[in-house]
């Protein structure tokens, strides 16, 4: 039978079932300590080969490493985190009725942009705070609205020459 073959582990000396894909060369069981011993023995065998004796030394090997680093520049850098998506369903777009906005003063260009593009404001708040949930963005927007109103009310009541 293929799956019932057993062998004694060279590390812990206990019998284990062989992996059918590695029958001819498996000598250690799958316990963490035995896997560590297997790795150490494998590295020792590799280093004892004559062609690997100076693999990490000498000018030609230094050159080999330099060339590899040029080909793989930045391999050690962390990958960018995937863009987080909000933990909520997308809302259906609602069309606002065509109503004329009446203003006592002519709006500045910046104010026009914000009135016409609420998505810009939401995106800006999200970028500044790192929040993606609408509840968190709405809370920040309320705080910003209060501060903005305070600033605008101070400016309209400001005396000339008070600088």
pLDDT over 50 (residue 156): yes
Asked whether residue 80 is assigned to any structural domain, the reply reads no
Residue 125 and residue 140 in contact, taking contact as beta carbons nearer than 8 Å? yes
Where does the pLDDT of residue 163 fall: very low under 50, low under 70, confident under 90, or very high at 90 and above?
Answer: very low
Same domain, 113 and 60: no
Q: Are residues 10 and 66 in the same domain?
A: yes
Q: In terms of residue numbers, what domain contains 117?
A: 109-156
Same domain? For 12 and 63 the reply is yes
Neighbours of 102 (CB within 10 A): 5
Q: Residue 16: exposed, middle, or buried by beta-carbon count in 10 A (0-12, 13-18, 19+)? A: middle
| Number of structural domains in the chain | 2
Mean pLDDT of 29-55: 91
**Residue 81, domain member (yes or no):** no
**pTM summary value:** 0.38
Look at residue 35 and tell me if it is in a domain: yes
Domain assignment present for residue 65? The answer is yes
**16, 50, 70 — which closes off a domain?**
70
40 inside domain: yes
Q: Are residues 62 and 114 in the same domain?
A: no
98 within domain boundaries:
no
pLDDT of residue 132: 78
Per residue in 78-128, pLDDT (tens digit) is 777 777 776 666 666 767 777 666 655 554 555 555 565 677 777 888 888
Q: Which residues contact 120 (CB under 8 A, 6 or more apart)?
A: 113, 114
Confidence category of residue 36, pLDDT binned at 50, 70, 90 = very high
How far does the chain reach from its first CA to its final CA, in angstroms? 95
Q: 36 near 12, Cβ under 8 Å?
A: no
Q: Is residue 93 part of a domain?
A: no
- Is residue 20 in a domain? yes
pLDDT in tens, 62-82: 888 889 988 988 877 777 777
* CB-CB neighbours of 41 under 10 Å: 14
């Amino acid at each position: 039978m293929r799956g019932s073959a057993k062998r004694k582990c060279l590390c812990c000396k206990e019998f284990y079932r062989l992996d059918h894909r590695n029958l001819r060369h498996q000598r250690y069981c799958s316990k963490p300590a035995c896997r560590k011993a297997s790795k150490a023995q494998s590295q020792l065998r590799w280093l004892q080969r004559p062609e690997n004796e100076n693999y990490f030394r000498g000018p030609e090997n230094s050159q080999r490493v330099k060339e590899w680093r040029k080909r793989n520049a930045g391999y050690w850098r962390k990958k960018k985190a995937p863009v987080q998506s909000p933990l909520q369903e997308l809302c259906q777009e609602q069309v606002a009725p065509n109503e004329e906005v009446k203003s006592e003063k002519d709006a500045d260009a910046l104010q026009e942009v914000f009135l016409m593009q609420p998505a810009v404001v939401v995106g800006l708040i999200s970028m500044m705070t790192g929040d993606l949930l609408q509840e968190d963005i709405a809370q920040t927007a309320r705080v910003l609205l209060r501060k903005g109103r305070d600033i605008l009310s101070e400016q309209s009541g400001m005396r000339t020459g008070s600088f």
